Amino acid sequence: MAKSYYVYILASQRNGTLYTGFTGNLEGRIWEHKNDIFEGFTKKYGVKLLVWYDVFDDVQAAIQREKTIKKWPRKWKLSLIEAQNPGWRDLYEYLNF
């Protein structure tokens, strides 16, 4: 079975503070964000809603995508979220692992 890698965007609220990340375990990593397991940006700013993610089979492609999105202007990130999740639902509730 092939390993999957994920690039994700978290938000504090609709149009709020955004965080872009990468992981090989989306469900576990988002759980860590939601439960303030680590000190850092997401804990400090209450960034806990999974509002966008993409899946990759290739780790290098996922890392490159994360780096690319992190360089984007905020407006582009908001457009990316709105295109796939216009209601800004917390997608963590819909993960089926």
- Give the type of residue at 64: Q
Q: Which fold has domain 5-94?
A: GIY-YIG endonuclease (3.40.1440)
- Write the CB contacts of 2 (distance below 8 Å, at least 6 apart in sequence): 57
Rounded-to-integer distance, Cα 24 and Cα 26, Å: 6
Q: What pLDDT does 49 receive?
A: 97
The answer to whether 25 and 93 have CB atoms below 8 angstroms apart is no
The answer to whether 10 and 33 have CB atoms below 8 angstroms apart is yes
The tens-digit pLDDT sequence of the chain (97 residues) is: 779 999 999 999 999 999 999 999 999 999 999 999 999 999 999 999 999 999 999 999 999 999 999 999 999 999 999 999 999 999 999 887 6
